Each structure stands twice: as structure tokens, then as C-alpha cells.
């Protein structure tokens, strides 16, 4: 009977370790989504457009620069650039093995600064804006299911940061939804 | 009915009241401890933690669940030993999960929290219940953890019951 109780508690401990590893990995590795919504590019069909030639410097509450993101042209999507040039955005790594090892370091670096983002300096062409508020949403739910052996459910867990910055590049002002700053 | 019968009845009634009060206290403490774990696991998904009323509703849901489970299973918790004691979380854990899902859904309704304006109250309840049942009872690593904690909780509750009656 005592052996059975010990077995139950050992299973509970094993389960806790599996989940704890997932939580630790998710807390130390992040995936980023960076958006600059430019209402100066609005059209009849869309409320804002995607600007090109963008540089974003993320800052924390004390205005310390955390990381720089640049638009990847010609598509215009934004990626944070690792200070180590060998890592960069990991975009130049073509083989799956190389990309995976690069992304492991890239996501670990992202997790260190992303939770502290408060504002950003944004440059779009000749328009330079300082201290633009960043709307951040964080999701950290993968660690509960990382152990599932399915391609679209389980896998190495990460937390997700979604940063959105709204600007009007025509007037060169930061925008809050419903007005300008 | 003699004077002796009245005295015996009064003593028995007082003992029963103390027992119920003990179950309520132990259940409330257990519910509070489970709330800490559930709020960490839920991460604000179903628990309406963003408003003060929502937080109060979530804590109340956990405490009421703990008290209800402790009252419902008071006798088996006191008496079950060996294999029966080990198997008891198979009954207490699903009961607690279903009851907590109902209460947290009610707290969400009262505080105006909603997943989406297009989701009906019934669909929202089903979603909360399915997710909680899946993670609580069918998740390979999490279910043993919750089962083990329920077993330890039951062990502690039994020790507290015995100490109160000693």
C-alpha cells in the first residue's frame, strides 16, 4: 500500500518536472511579432498600412535601449536584430539545422528584453518619433502542452510577445487608437 | 424523554456543529491553496483576474469549492484508508473541477467577463468545463500532479479532522 502511495507521488513529481521544464523553457525563450501600423497609409479598404524602411528601437521604463528591429524589405515585416552579427535575424541561415541553432540563441536573447518593453523610437524614412507607446500582449500557454507528440500541438515551448506601435508617417506623429499623441 | 437524553442530544448537536465548522475551515483553507495553483495554471484565461470584483469572485469560487468538497467527502476523508484513501481523489478531483467550472462561469457572468461577444453563455460554460476537464483529468503530466496534490490535501484534512476530534 505504501509502495502504491509512493508510486502515485512519484508520478506526480515526474509530471511536475515535465511541466516545470516546459515552463522554464517558455520563460527563457520568446517568439516576437512586431507591427508598426501606419494610419498615414490608410486606404478605402484598410485602416492602416505597412510602412517600409522602418527602424524601431525598443526602450524600457527608464528609457534604456533594449533592442533594435528593422523592416525586412521588400516585404516590410519587422524583425529584431541580435547585437551579434553572426546571429542577426537568423534569416540568412538556410539549412534547417543552422536555422534551428541560430533561432535557439535568438529566442533566448528575445526573452531577456521583451518583457521590459515600454516605449519605442520609430524611424520611417525621414520621420523620427521618440517615446512612442508600445501596446504589448503576452501569451505563455504552450508549456502545458509541450509534451504532446503532435506536429501542431506539442514541441519546444516559447512565450509569445506581440508588440504594436501605431503611427501616422504623413504627419509624423504617434497615434493612439481614437486620436494622436 | 429524560433529562439525560436532552443532555446527550445537546452534546451530540454541539459535537456535530463543531465537526461542520471544522470541515468548513479546512475546506476554506484548501480552497485558498488550490486557488493559488489554479490562478497560476489558468493565467487569467477563464479566471476574471483583471478586475477587483472578478478576483474576489474567483477566490470565492475556489473557497466555496473547497468547502463544498470537504463537506461532501467529509466521511470518506475521515474513514478511507489504504487503497480506498488512495482512490478517493478519483472522486474529489472531478467533483471539484466541475463545481469550480460552474462557479467560475457564474463569477464571469456576474462581473461581465466574456471570451467573445458572439459566444453564448452556454457555449462559454462548455468551453470552460471542457478545458478544465481536459487539463485537470486527461493531461498526461498535469493530472498526476493534481491527483498527488489532492491526495496530500486529503491526507492533511484527515490529520486536521483527527486532531480536532482528539
Asked if the Cβ–Cβ distance from A144 to B142 is below 8 Å, we say yes
**Chain B residues near residue A18 by CB distance under 8 angstroms:** 141
Distance (Å, whole) CA B130 – CA B137 = 10
Residue A105 has pLDDT above 80, yes or no: yes
CB A94 within 8 A of CB A152: no
Q: Which stretch of DSSP H or E encloses residue A138?
A: strand A135-139
Q: Which stretch of DSSP H or E encloses residue A139?
A: strand A135-139
Task: Say which DSSP state A130 is in.
Answer: E
- pLDDT at residue number A137: 93
Q: Which stretch of DSSP H or E encloses residue A119?
A: strand A119-124
Strand A135-139 relative to strand A159-168, pairing: antiparallel
- Mind listing the pLDDT tens digit for each residue in A75-102? 999 999 999 999 999 987 778 788 899 9
- pLDDT at residue number B132: 96
Confidence check on the interface: ipTM exceeds 0.85, yes or no: no
Cβ neighbours around B150 below 10 Å, total = 21
pLDDT tens series, chain B, 166 aa: 555 666 666 666 777 788 889 999 999 999 999 999 999 999 889 999 889 999 999 999 999 999 999 999 999 999 988 889 999 999 999 999 999 999 999 999 999 998 998 999 999 999 999 999 999 999 989 999 999 999 999 999 999 988 877 6
Chain A interface test: which of B148, B149, B154, B156 (most A C-beta within 10 Å): B148
- Mind listing the pLDDT tens digit for each residue in A130-174? 999 999 999 998 999 999 888 788 889 999 999 999 999 999 999
- pLDDT at residue number B5: 62
Q: How confident is the model at residue A14 (pLDDT cuts 50, 70, 90)?
A: very high
Strand partners, A3: none
**Chain B residues near residue A140 by CB distance under 8 angstroms:** 43
CB A176 within 8 A of CB A46: no
Asked if the Cβ–Cβ distance from A12 to B147 is below 8 Å, we say yes
Q: Hey, CA dihedral for A150, A155, A158, A163, is it positive or negative?
A: negative
**Nearest CB neighbour to A9, from listed B43, B143, B148:** B148
Asked if the Cβ–Cβ distance from A147 to B140 is below 8 Å, we say yes
Burial track B87-126 (b if 16+ CB lie within 10 A, e otherwise):
ebbeebbeebbbbbbebbbebbeebebeeeeeeeeeebbe
Q: Does A16 touch chain B (CB under 8 A)?
A: yes
- pLDDT at residue number B10: 65
**Chain A residues near residue B135 by CB distance under 8 angstroms:** 144
- 3-class DSSP assignment, residue A173: strand
**Nearest CB neighbour to B148, from listed A8, A141, A147:** A8
Mean confidence (pLDDT) of chain A: 91
Q: Does A7 touch chain B (CB under 8 A)?
A: no
Q: Does A153 touch chain B (CB under 8 A)?
A: no
Asked if the bond preceding A74 is cis, omega within 30° of 0, the reply is yes
Chain A interface test: which of B138, B143, B144 (most A C-beta within 10 Å): B144
Q: Residue A146 burial by CB count (10 A; 0-12/13-18/19+): exposed, middle or buried?
A: buried
| HEC profile of A105-147 | HHHHHHHHHHHHCCEEEEEECCEEEEEEECEEEEECCHHHCCC
Q: Does A147 touch chain B (CB under 8 A)?
A: yes
- pLDDT at residue number A149: 84
- Mind listing the pLDDT tens digit for each residue in A32-49? 999 999 999 988 889 999
- pLDDT at residue number B8: 61
**Chain B residues near residue A9 by CB distance under 8 angstroms:** 148, 151-152
Chain A interface test: which of B93, B135, B145, B154 (most A C-beta within 10 Å): B145
**Nearest CB neighbour to A18, from listed B141, B147, B152:** B141
Amino acid at each position: 500500500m505504501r509502495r502504491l502511495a509512493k508510486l502515485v507521488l512519484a508520478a506526480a513529481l515526474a509530471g511536475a518536472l515535465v511541466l516545470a521544464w516546459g515552463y522554464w523553457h517558455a520563460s527563457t525563450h520568446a517568439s516576437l511579432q512586431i507591427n508598426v501600423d501606419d494610419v498615414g497609409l490608410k486606404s478605402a479598404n484598410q485602416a492602416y498600412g505597412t510602412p517600409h524602411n522602418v527602424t524601431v528601437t525598443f526602450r524600457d521604463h527608464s528609457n534604456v535601449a533594449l533592442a533594435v528591429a528593422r523592416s525586412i524589405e521588400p516585404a516590410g515585416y519587422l524583425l529584431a536584430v541580435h547585437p551579434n552579427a553572426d546571429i542577426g535575424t537568423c534569416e540568412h541561415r538556410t539549412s534547417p539545422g543552422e536555422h534551428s541553432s541560430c533561432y535557439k540563441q535568438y529566442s533566448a536573447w528575445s526573452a531577456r528584453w521583451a518583457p521590459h518593453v515600454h516605449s519605442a523610437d520609430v524611424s520611417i524614412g525621414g520621420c523620427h518619433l521618440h517615446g512612442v507607446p508600445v501596446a504589448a500582449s503576452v501569451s505563455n500557454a504552450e508549456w502545458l502542452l509541450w509534451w504532446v507528440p503532435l506536429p501542431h500541438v506539442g514541441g519546444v515551448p516559447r512565450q509569445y510577445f506581440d508588440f504594436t506601435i501605431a503611427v501616422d508617417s504623413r504627419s509624423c506623429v504617434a497615434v493612439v487608437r481614437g486620436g494622436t499623441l | 424523554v429524560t433529562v439525560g437524553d436532552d443532555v446527550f442530544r445537546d452534546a451530540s448537536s454541539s459535537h456535530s456543529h463543531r465537526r461542520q465548522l471544522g470541515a468548513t475551515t479546512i475546506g476554506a483553507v484548501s480552497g485558498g491553496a488550490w486557488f493559488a495553483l489554479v490562478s497560476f495554471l489558468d493565467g487569467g484565461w477563464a479566471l476574471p483576474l483583471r478586475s477587483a470584483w472578478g478576483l474576489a469572485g474567483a477566490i470565492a469560487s475556489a473557497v466555496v469549492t473547497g468547502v463544498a468538497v470537504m463537506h461532501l467527502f467529509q466521511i470518506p476523508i475521515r474513514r478511507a484508508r489504504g487503497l480506498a484513501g488512495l482512490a478517493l481523489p478519483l472522486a474529489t478531483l472531478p467533483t471539484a473541477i466541475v463545481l469550480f467550472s460552474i462557479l467560475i462561469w457564474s463569477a464571469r457572468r456576474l462581473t461581465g467577463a466574456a471570451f467573445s461577444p458572439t459566444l453564448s453563455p452556454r457555449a462559454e460554460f462548455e468551453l470552460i468545463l471542457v478545458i478544465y476537464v481536459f487539463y485537470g483529468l486527461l493531461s498526461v503530466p498535469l493530472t498526476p500532479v493534481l491527483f498527488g496534490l489532492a491526495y496530500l490535501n486529503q491526507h492533511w484534512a484527515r490529520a486536521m479532522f483527527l486532531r480536532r476530534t482528539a
